[in-house]
Amino acid sequence: MDPLDKARGVVEESKLEFPLAHGLQVPQDAERIGAWWDENPKRPMIQPSEFILGRARDDGSRKILSATYSTGPIGRVKAEDVLALLQYFDSQRK
């Protein structure tokens, strides 16, 4: 939902090395990507959706290893939980 300048600030501050969406419009983009969104006209927002993607396949596609959808302010994934899940996935590959 953030504009480009704010999204760039997040990328720079957090040293992100992956694409970050920005400037999404409610309800158009929420409907297009199948996301839950808040209908409150005072605070239109797309609710958080978090994905953990597997390594790129030969064709460039990736398998969704985990997906979390939140319909409100509760349900966001903590970094520690993501790390533990990634370590688990890695241990299963060996």
pTM here is 0.56
Structure tokens at 24: 């999404």
Element (H, E) at 7: helix 4-14
Report phi then psi at 80, rounded to 5.
-60, -35
Burial group, residue 77, by CB count within 10 angstroms (0-12, 13-18, 19+): middle
Which residue type occupies 58? D
- From first to last of the 94 residues of the chain, give the pLDDT tens digit: 688 999 999 999 999 888 888 888 888 988 888 888 888 778 778 888 888 888 889 998 999 998 888 777 777 788 899 999 999 999 988 7
